[in-house]
Structure formats: structure tokens, C-alpha cells
Structure 1
């Protein structure tokens, strides 16, 4: 599995629950970078780290993935597991490729789909005609292998109903499927808040919003900052705290400078206690182009506050309907997002109590039980 973001945190939670239930779990981690967003999987019996480089939609990236798949084949042959849990379509694909190497073992595997890989694969191709053709060919090949690998899995887990329905449109029809929301994982500690963030969040004269998302094209910080700048023209006492890191952080900081809002936007970096920030905010904002689910807004509600989210193809609308709260706006719509922020400032703060629903649908034990039931169907 990958070691960045919500999928990694969910896998770590599942591993901890499985170890408590008597399973022996080894974890193979595919990492793109060294980051504070990484998860260390302390409960696992062993952790094997493999470095992944290059875009999967390039020739170089494809060759590297074949090399990674060969290494994965050797690891599986040495470990001889009873079952594999492949977190994300990308990891599922690598295991599927690994089975073609001589001496490989054929192990039953579950593909745990966290992300809308359909949207992920719709990347903007290069403008050069030859490079565009090559890139599009890589995309088509990878999409075909992804879907084949998922179809041949022993079982499938989707993190929400709408994600499953999206895959159904591709002709996916599998006899062993579980739909299991990711767990709303509590903060692991009582670490102090960033000093500036603390002063903003505890100042009754300020209205502070929080966004927790890595700086990546998917999360669309550009639309968020443009909307926030527009809203600040109406309300000068609003503030925005950005939690996270990533390759585009410097670009987003430059955008905040050019919009003239750097003094009301705080880049607080990655933190291990995001819910401490959420609980003191007016609302949590998620402006993504696409999501697998959007667990951060569930954690916002679990922290007692509402959310503003883009109504991307998968995730936020389902969360809004299940938890009966939240504001949805069209993706990439600066004016709509600015209006939603202004509306939240104009109206009294809404405190959310959805503790019963959170415990029933988003607990760690519920998530682990759903996976265990599927595993038992496959192994026994």
C-alpha cells in the first residue's frame, strides 16, 4: 500500500485491529517521498518499504512499476501469506503484474478501493502531439490493467456506495463485495496547536476556517484561495488555516501572496492532531476536484463542526446525506465557494452532534469487522 493520506491511516487502523484479533500482519509500503504525512504501521509484525518513482502514466514510470512488481513477487514468495489486502487500485495492479513472473505464488487478494481512480486517470495530456499520444497510450494500458486486476480479485472493498456505483458503470460485477466507510480516527495525542492558529481559533472576533489536505492538484487549493480572497472583501475578520504539505505548497503560498491574503492564511504544515483544529473552527473546507470519499469532512463532523465541500463525483454528497449536514458547491466554482463561506459567516455557528451515526458507521471496529467478514468468506 501507499503510505500517504487517508488510505494509509485506514490501513494502519485495520492492521491494529487485526493484530488485536490474533492475526499476524506484514505490511509492504510503497512510498513516493519522505513526508510527515507518512504512517509507520507500528502494529505490523514487519514493515517492508519500497520506493516508487516516476509518473505511472509515462514510459519510465511504467518500466519502474514492472521492477517494483518483480520485487513484490519475491517478497510474497518469501512470506507466503494466506491473503493479501491491496489498498488502492494502483497497488492491486502491481500485485496483478507480479503474478506473471516465474516462481510467483498465486495468493487470494482483496482490492481495497479508496480512491476514484477513474478521475485520477483522467490526467491532462501533454500538448506535444507525440508525447500526448504516448501518454494517452500509457493511460489506456494502465486503465485496462487496473480494471482487469480489480475484476480478478477474490473480493472488493469500496469506501462508499457512490464509489462502488461508479465502478459498476465500467461493467464491474463481482460476487464478493463489501462497502465499508473508512474510520473516523481520533487524534492520537494532545499536542499543542500552532501558536498562530491557536490565537486565531480562540479569538472571538475572528471567524476561522480550516482545510486539511495535501498540496496536490486534486485538492484544488487554487479555487479555495481565490474564493477566500473574494469572501474576505466582504468580511475582513475571516481567517484560513491550511494543514498539510506537498509538492505544490510553494506555488500555493505564491498564489496567496499574489491575492494579497497571506496575512489571513496560515500554512501550518502537517499535524497529527487535525481534529483539535477542526473543533475550534467555524467549518472545515474541502475544495477537491475528486475524492475517494473525503474522510476529512467526516472527521470534521466527528469534531462537532460542519463542512463546506465541492460536490465532486464521489464522497461528499454521500457524507452530507448520511450525516444530514454540510454545504455542497460545484467543483472549481470560485463564486459558489465564496458565497458559501460568506453565508457561514453571516449565520450563527452550527454545532453538530452526530456521535451516534459516527459510532455506528465510522468506528474503527466497524471498519475492521467488515473486512474480517469478507476475508472469512474468501479463506474458509
Structure 2
């Protein structure tokens, strides 16, 4: 049996999960190919080495914007040709967006009608609720485009042969909008160990190894979803109580310059480090007081699991999907309301008051977040589809 994974790019939790699943399926005897829509140049990347064939379409990032409907149709047409050349028996689309592109690709003349699984990694519902608030004809047209895009997304998901949700609350979100699919799997993303022994950033290393300093870490791309603005404002406020706290930001993204400007304007540039993308985030996590995730929304919150697997606790926004469920499963962590500067500042201060708490959740990590359990859950769903 030939399985083809379609992946948006080679960075982040979805890519790492796909790479783990590809390796497991190859070991299980499947023929596995991979289509990557765009390949990004970063330190923290995945190369999908286990796949028998990897096709990189190199789609420009600007073509993924919600307003780029024509571009998305063009991408779908290209994807149709690629899938036709691969000739798989089953397709796994990683994220709702990729599912939509494959769904559109099926309408082109000559394309193959192949069963597909939609692997839902993100809170598509929260993403689709974003609307332009300006009262204008242009805004109305854009909101209509967003609504149409959302309808196509949902149609693509409904037509899938099976669905995988990365946590229970994400599945429940879909149930609440009437999506009751007959073949589903709930499968937490695997906590994949760091295999890179790259040295820590020199400033980060000096902070993390200084017993007089209390250092927190945030690993998140600089994107509106991750709400670095609330984090920076809260950290500035907390530093008024504890002048010896430090913050290391791991990641990159379009909003990095904007966040740097905010840090400078608040006068905390000497206590906040922009360390960039790193291949070994757990090395930073393990030496920190806690890992912070201030997102408006999440599909899962893999950084939380990786923090706990590294032996430290976390502070996270109690957004609709992810952090609360993970906190309940792992029996640790502090949750604060999203976009609440005062609550997040208070949580940082509370963690600064006490010595670093080393926690051991190895049994739960192995039980719920191992690569083998993730692969097993997908395999059970595949067997339901092909039998």
C-alpha cells in the first residue's frame, strides 16, 4: 500500500509529527511518499528522509493568504498533477488548509479520486472566525471571501475518509458545529526528543546557568496567534517586582521586528533575548524556571508537552483548545486568561517566588505522547478505511 503525506512546510509541530509517522509507516512496510508545498530555510526544520519520494512544490508563502483564492486554485492544480504522478492508494493531508487544497485538486480534469485522511493539527474554527471589522464594501467582500473559504474548508473535511484530531477538545469543537464523522481518531502529537547537540546561545547559556537569575523561555513563531505582545507587556510588569527575571524568545517570524520595537519601547531590552530558531529547544527548557505560551488559540500546544518532557512546568493561556487539556493530562502547569497582561504578570511573579520545580511525568509522556502511540492511532484508522 502506498501512502502519500501532503504537508504545508517543513517547520513546526505538524511537520515533525508527519515525519515521525512517515518513519513509523516505512518501518511497518508501507510505501510512503511526501509532498511538501513549500520548503522553508530555518535551523528547526524537518527533511522527511524516511520517505521513498519527496516532492517539494516550493509554493511562495504569499500565495497562502486567505485573500489569494486564485493562487490557491493554481496551487491545487499543481498539486493535482503531482498526486497523479505519485499514484498513492491513500493520502494524509496535514492541516485543514492542506485538506482544502487537495479537495479542490480533485476537481481538475485527469486527477485521481483517492481516499484521504484529514489530520487536524490546528484550531481551524478559531482561525476561520477572524473577520475584518471595518465597515466598508472592501471589508464586506473580504468577509464574504473568508466565509466562502471556511465553507470550502468544512466541505473538504466532511468528505474525508477519516479524521485525526490532535486532542479531545479540538474534536469537541468540531462536534459543536455539527461535524459528526463516522471514522475519527484522537491522537496526541508525539513528544519527539531533540537529537541536535548544538551549543546554547552564549547569552542564553549565561542566563540559564546563573543561579542569581530567574529565566523563562518562550518558543513560538512571531505570529499574531502567539500573542507576544501580551507576553512582553506582562514580563515588563513582572520585572518591576523581580528585576532578576529574564526572558528567552525562541523562534522567528514576520512580527519579530515589531516585537523587538515593543521590547525597546518598554525599556526591557537588557532582560529579553531574541535567540532565533534553534534545533534543540528542550536544552533551553530544561534549565528554565518555566516555559510560557501566551497564544490566542492553539490546535494542541506541543511546546507544553516538550517543556514537561524536559522536566519543567509551564504557564499558558487558557485558550479554547490545547493547554487546559494538556494541563489536566499532565497534572501540572499554570493557566491564565488569554490577552490578560495582569494575570500573566502575576503568574510569572508566582513562579519567580519559588525555586525551580523539577517534575517527572515520564510515564504519562510515554503513555500519551510517544511516537509509537501516535503511529498506532493512525494505523487503526487506516485499517478502518481500507477494510
TM range (shorter): over 0.9
Q: Counterpart in 2 of 1:2?
A: 8
In structure 1, the residue matched to 2:166 is 159
- The answer (yes or no) to whether the contact 2:296–2:319 under 8 Å persists in 1 is yes
Which stretch of the first structure deviates more once superposed, 81-90 or 116-125?
A: 116-125
1:122 and 2:129 are equivalent in the alignment: yes
1:57 aligns with 2:42: no
| Mapping for residues 109-258 of structure 1, pairs under 5 Å | 109-125=116-132, 127=134, 129-258=136-265
Residue pair 1:287, 1:310 contacting (<8 A) in 2 also: yes
Shift of 1:361: 0.3
Map of 2:283 onto structure 1: 276
Query: Cα distance 1:34–1:189, how it changes in 2: closer, same or farther (>3 A)?
Result: closer
Query: Matched residues in 2 for 1:197 and 1:279: separation?
Result: 12
Question: Using the alignment, how far apart are the partners of 1:97 and 1:32 within structure 2?
Answer: 22
Deviation at 1:162, TM superposition (A): 0.1
**Preserved CA contact (<8 Å) 1:224 1:287:** yes
Deviations 1:229-284 (A, max 9, x none): 00000000000000000011111111110011111001000001000100000000
* 2:359 counterpart residue number: 352
Mapping of 1:20-59 within 5 angstroms? 20-31=27-38, 33-50=40-57, 51-52=59-60, 53-58=62-67
Q: 2:65, 2:276 → 1: CA distance? A: 27
Report how far residue 128 of structure 1 moved: 6.0
Q: Distance in 1 between matches of 2:64 and 2:133?
A: 13
Contact 1:2–1:30 under 8 Å retained in 2: yes
Question: Is 1:86–2:86 an aligned residue pair?
Answer: no
- Note the C-alpha offset of 1:343: 0.3
Distance 2:281 2:42 in 1: 16
Report the equivalent of 1:341.
348
Determine the C-alpha separation between the residues in 1 that align with 2:16 and 2:65.
Answer: 23
The whole-number CA distance in structure 2 between the counterparts of 1:321 and 1:189 is 30
Q: Which runs of 5+ in 2 are unaligned?
A: 1-6
Give how far 1:40 is off. Answer: 1.7
- Aligned equivalents of 1:12, 1:295: Cα separation in 2: 15
- Residue 377 of structure 2 aligns with which residue? 370
2:24 to 6, 13, 17: 17
Q: Distance in 1 between matches of 2:78 and 2:26?
A: 25
| Contact 2:166–2:188 (Cα < 8 Å) also in 1 | yes
CA drift at 1:124: 4.1
Over residues 338-379 of structure 1, what are the superposed CA-to-partner deviations in whole Å (9 max), with x where a residue is unaligned? Answer: 000000011232211100000000001110111111112112
- Contact residue 126 and residue 135 of structure 1 kept, 8 A: no
TM-score, normalised to structure 1, is 0.97
**Aligned match of 1:294:** 301
Deviation at 1:35, TM superposition (A): 3.6
2:291·2:307 contact (CA, 8 Å) conserved in 1? Answer: yes
d(CA) in 2 for partners of 1:242 and 1:340? 18
3-state DSSP of counterpart to 1:328: strand
Q: Is the 8 A contact 1:82 1:379 kept in 2?
A: no
Q: Distance in 2 between matches of 1:18 and 1:124?
A: 40
Q: Which runs of 5+ in 1 are unaligned?
A: none
296-305 vs 16-25, greater mean Cα deviation? 16-25
The alpha-carbon deviation at position 311 of structure 1 amounts to 0.2
Calculate the TM-score normalised by the size of structure 2.
0.95
Matches of 1:39 and 1:67 in 2, distance apart? 26
Cα distance between partner residues in 2 of 1:84 and 1:314: 26
